[in-house]
């Protein structure tokens, strides 16, 4: 399997909403100055931390188990 497909499989196994926010940060960050990009990323971080997946992800990490992510 190609490295690209392996990377794609790894990405899609993550929280869909978080991946979507990361993609938005990357796309927007390419077109704005550093300060604006940092503010935008901070806003997206706040959105990501407002989901139930955040709580589930942190609990799963502490309990050393795979997270059951559902948000999006």
| Domain extents in the chain | 15-72
Task: Dump pLDDT digits (tens) for 10-58.
Answer: 888 877 888 899 999 999 989 999 999 999 999 999 988 888 888 888 8
Among 38, 21, 16, 20, which Cα is nearest to 29's? 38
Q: Which fold has domain 15-72?
A: Lyase 2-enoyl-coa Hydratase; Chain  A, domain 2 (1.10.12)
Residue in the block written with tokens 């794609």: 8
- pTM of the predicted structure, to 2 decimals: 0.68
């Amino acid at each position: 399997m190609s490295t690209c497909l392996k990377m794609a499989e790894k990405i899609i196994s993550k929280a869909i909403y978080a991946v979507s926010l990361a993609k938005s940060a990357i796309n927007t960050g390419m077109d704005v100055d550093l300060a604006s990009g940092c503010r935008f990323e901070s806003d997206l971080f706040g959105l990501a931390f407002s989901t139930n997946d955040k709580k589930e992800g942190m609990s799963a990490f502490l309990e050393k188990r795979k997270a059951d992510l559902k948000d999006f």
